[in-house]
Amino acid sequence: DKAETKGGLVVKTDDGRFEMKIGGRIQFDGYLATDDDDLGSPGLISTTGFRRARLTMEGKAYGWSYKFENDFTGAAAGGGFREMWIGTKVFDQNLRIGQAKPYRGMEELTSSNEIDFMERPFATASGVFTGNQFAQGLFLDGGGANWTYGISAYSLRNEDAAATEGVGGAARVTFAPILSDETVLHLGLSASSDHPSDNGTGAVTRTASGRQFGRIAGATAIATTPEERTAFGLELAGKAGPIYGQAEYVMADYKNEATEDEDVDTWYVQASYMLTGESKPYDAKKAVFKSPKPNGAMGAWELKARYDVMEGSEGTGPAAEEISYWIVGANWFVNPNVRFMFEYLQGNVSPFAGADVEASVFQVRTQFGF
Amino acid sequence: DKAETKGGLVVKTDDGRFEMKIGGRIQFDGYLATDDDDLGSPGLISTTGFRRARLTMEGKAYGWSYKFENDFTGAAAGGGFREMWIGTKVFDQNLRIGQAKPYRGMEELTSSNEIDFMERPFATASGVFTGNQFAQGLFLDGGGANWTYGISAYSLRNEDAAATEGVGGAARVTFAPILSDETVLHLGLSASSDHPSDNGTGAVTRTASGRQFGRIAGATAIATTPEERTAFGLELAGKAGPIYGQAEYVMADYKNEATEDEDVDTWYVQASYMLTGESKPYDAKKAVFKSPKPNGAMGAWELKARYDVMEGSEGTGPAAEEISYWIVGANWFVNPNVRFMFEYLQGNVSPFAGADVEASVFQVRTQFGF
Amino acid sequence: DKAETKGGLVVKTDDGRFEMKIGGRIQFDGYLATDDDDLGSPGLISTTGFRRARLTMEGKAYGWSYKFENDFTGAAAGGGFREMWIGTKVFDQNLRIGQAKPYRGMEELTSSNEIDFMERPFATASGVFTGNQFAQGLFLDGGGANWTYGISAYSLRNEDAAATEGVGGAARVTFAPILSDETVLHLGLSASSDHPSDNGTGAVTRTASGRQFGRIAGATAIATTPEERTAFGLELAGKAGPIYGQAEYVMADYKNEATEDEDVDTWYVQASYMLTGESKPYDAKKAVFKSPKPNGAMGAWELKARYDVMEGSEGTGPAAEEISYWIVGANWFVNPNVRFMFEYLQGNVSPFAGADVEASVFQVRTQFGF
Q: What is the 3-state secondary structure (H, E, C) of chain B?
A: CEEECCCCEEEECCCCCCEEEEEEEEEEEEEEEEECCCCCCCCCCCCEEEEEEEEEEEEEECCEEEEEEEECCCCCCCCCEEEEEEEEEECCEEEEEEEECCCCCHHHHCCCCCCCCCCCCCCCCCCCCCCCCCEEEEEEEEECCCEEEEEEEEECCCCCCCCCCCEEEEEEEEEEEEECCCEEEEEEEEEEEEECCCCCCCCCCCCCCCHHHHHHHCCCCCCCCCCEEEEEEEEEEEEECCEEEEEEEEEEEEECCCCCCEEEEEEEEEEEEECCCCCCCEECCCCEECCCCCCCCCCEEEEEEEEEEEEECCCCCCCEEEEEEEEEEEEEECCCCEEEEEEEEEEEEEECCCCCEEEEEEEEEEEEEC
Contacts of B220 (CB under 8 A, 6+ apart): B207, B208, B318, B319, B320, B323, B349, B351
Distance CA B119, CA B127 (A): 11
Tell how far CA C315 is from the center of its chain.
27
Which residues in C lie closer than 8 A to residue A77 (C-beta atoms)? 76
pLDDT at A317: 64
Is residue A212 predicted with pLDDT exceeding 70? no
Residues in chain B whose beta carbon is closer than 8 A to a beta carbon of chain A?
2-9, 11, 22, 24, 26, 28, 41-42, 45-50, 53, 55, 72-77, 79-80, 334-338, 366-368, 370
Rank C42-56, C68-82, C179-193, C355-369 by mean pLDDT and report only the highest: C179-193
Residue A217 per-residue DSSP state: H
Percent of chain B with pLDDT over 70: 91
Q: Indicate the average pLDDT of chain B.
A: 89
What tens digit of pLDDT does each residue of B246-300 get? 999 999 988 877 777 888 899 999 999 999 999 999 999 999 999 999 988 899 9
Is residue A63 predicted with pLDDT exceeding 90? yes
Q: Indicate the average pLDDT of chain C.
A: 89
Which residues in A lie closer than 8 A to residue C163 (C-beta atoms)? 45, 47, 49
pLDDT at C90: 95
Percent of chain C with pLDDT over 90: 64
Distance CA A192, CA A152 (A): 9
Smallest CA–CA separation between C83 and chain A, in Å? 12
Is residue B240 predicted with pLDDT exceeding 80? yes
Residues in chain A whose beta carbon is closer than 8 A to a beta carbon of chain B?
1-3, 9, 11-13, 18-20, 22, 55, 57, 59-64, 66, 68, 70, 75-78, 80-81, 84-86, 97-99, 136-137, 154-155, 157, 159, 163-165, 199
Q: Indicate the average pLDDT of chain A.
A: 89
Is residue B55 predicted with pLDDT exceeding 90? yes
What tens digit of pLDDT does each residue of B305-316 get? 999 998 887 766
Torsion sign across C-alpha atoms B203, B205, B211, B217? negative
Percent of chain A with pLDDT over 90: 64
Type of residue found at A16: G
Smallest CA–CA separation between C4 and chain A, in Å? 10
Is residue B123 predicted with pLDDT exceeding 90? yes
Give me the helices (H) in chain C, please: 106-109, 211-217
pLDDT at C211: 56
Distance CA A12, CA B6 (A): 9
Is residue C200 predicted with pLDDT exceeding 70? no
Distance CA A158, CA A142 (A): 26
Which residues in C lie closer than 8 A to residue B97 (C-beta atoms)? 28, 366
pLDDT at C216: 60
What tens digit of pLDDT does each residue of A188-208 get? 999 999 988 865 555 555 565
Contact B337 A61 (CB under 8 A): yes
Is residue B42 predicted with pLDDT exceeding 80? no
Q: Kindly indicate the confidence band of residue C227, based on its pLDDT and cuts at 50, 70 and 90.
A: confident
Task: Give the chain B residue nearest C3 (alpha carbons).
Answer: B1
What tens digit of pLDDT does each residue of C230-251 get? 999 999 999 999 999 999 999 9
pLDDT at A312: 82
Distance CA C1, CA C14 (A): 6
What SS3 state is found at A211? helix
Is residue B370 predicted with pLDDT exceeding 60? yes
Q: Kindly indicate the confidence band of residue A173, based on its pLDDT and cuts at 50, 70 and 90.
A: very high
pLDDT at B316: 66
Which residues in C lie closer than 8 A to residue B22 (C-beta atoms)? 9, 22
Smallest CA–CA separation between C364 and chain B, in Å? 12
Is residue C54 predicted with pLDDT exceeding 70? yes
Span C213-223, average pLDDT: 57
Q: Are C315 and C260 in contact (CB under 8 A)?
A: no
Distance CA A15, CA A11 (A): 12
pLDDT at B210: 58
Q: Kindly indicate the confidence band of residue B328, based on its pLDDT and cuts at 50, 70 and 90.
A: very high
Torsion sign across C-alpha atoms B368, C3, C7, C9? negative
pLDDT at A215: 59
pLDDT at C292: 94
Distance CA A291, CA A115 (A): 7
Is residue A349 predicted with pLDDT exceeding 90? no
pLDDT at B78: 81
Nearest CA among A110, A270, A289 for reference residue A185: A289
What tens digit of pLDDT does each residue of B260-272 get? 788 889 999 999 9
Is residue A218 predicted with pLDDT exceeding 60? no
Contact A86 B28 (CB under 8 A): yes
Cβ-count burial of A356 within 10 angstroms (0-12 exposed, 13-18 middle, 19+ buried)?
Answer: exposed
Q: Are A16 and C24 in contact (CB under 8 A)?
A: no
Distance CA C289, CA C245 (A): 10
Rank A104-113, A222-231, C157-166, C199-208 by mean pLDDT and report only the highest: A104-113
The tally of CA atoms less than 13 A away on the side-chain side of residue B69 is: 23
Q: Kindly indicate the confidence band of residue C320, based on its pLDDT and cuts at 50, 70 and 90.
A: confident
First to last CA, chain C: 21
Smallest CA–CA separation between A263 and chain B, in Å? 29
pLDDT at C161: 77
What tens digit of pLDDT does each residue of A45-55 get? 888 999 999 99
**Best of B81, B86, B154 to mutate (most C CBs within 10 Å, chain C):** B86
Tell how far CA C65 is from the center of its chain.
23
Complex confidence, ipTM: 0.93
Distance CA B339, CA B266 (A): 29
Span B229-239, average pLDDT: 96
Distance CA B142, CA C26 (A): 24
CB atoms within 10 A of CB A285: 11
Span A294-322, average pLDDT: 86
Cβ-count burial of C16 within 10 angstroms (0-12 exposed, 13-18 middle, 19+ buried)?
Answer: exposed
Contact C22 A22 (CB under 8 A): yes
pLDDT at C223: 55
Residues in chain A whose beta carbon is closer than 8 A to a beta carbon of chain C?
2-9, 11, 22, 24, 26, 28, 41-42, 45-50, 53, 55, 72-77, 79-80, 334-338, 366-368, 370
- Which range is least confidently modeled, A94-98, B70-74, B349-353, C217-221? C217-221
Distance CA C77, CA C162 (A): 11
Residue A338 per-residue DSSP state: E
Which backbone phi and psi does A275 adopt, to 5 degrees? Answer: -60, -30
Contact A61 B22 (CB under 8 A): no
Beta-ladder partners of B208: none
Selected residue with higher pLDDT from C108 and B229: C108
Contact B7 A22 (CB under 8 A): no
Q: Kindly indicate the confidence band of residue B2, based on its pLDDT and cuts at 50, 70 and 90.
A: confident
Distance CA A8, CA B354 (A): 61
Selected residue with higher pLDDT from C218 and C85: C85
Is residue C1 predicted with pLDDT exceeding 90? no
Task: Give the chain C residue nearest B67 (alpha carbons).
Answer: C26
Selected residue with higher pLDDT from B159 and C183: C183
Is residue B366 predicted with pLDDT exceeding 60? yes
Selected residue with higher pLDDT from C285 and B318: C285
pLDDT at A183: 97
Smallest CA–CA separation between A151 and chain B, in Å? 18
Q: Where in chain A does DSSP place strands (E)?
A: 2-4, 9-12, 19-35, 48-61, 64-71, 81-90, 93-100, 135-143, 147-155, 167-179, 183-195, 228-240, 243-255, 262-274, 282-283, 288-289, 300-312, 320-333, 338-351, 357-369
Sketch out chain C's domains with CATH numbers: 2-369 (2.40.160.10)
Is residue B241 predicted with pLDDT exceeding 60? yes
Contacts of A111 (CB under 8 A, 6+ apart): A288, A290
Q: Are C40 and C217 in contact (CB under 8 A)?
A: no
Which residues in C lie closer than 8 A to residue A24 (C-beta atoms)? 57, 68
What tens digit of pLDDT does each residue of C113-133 get? 999 999 999 999 888 888 789
Rank A120-129, A349-358, B14-23, C144-153 by mean pLDDT and report only the highest: C144-153
Residue C291 per-residue DSSP state: P
pLDDT at B162: 75
pLDDT at B10: 93
Contact C8 B99 (CB under 8 A): no
Size of interface A-C (CB pairs under 8 A): 128
Nearest CA among B261, B252, B250, B251 for reference residue B227: B261
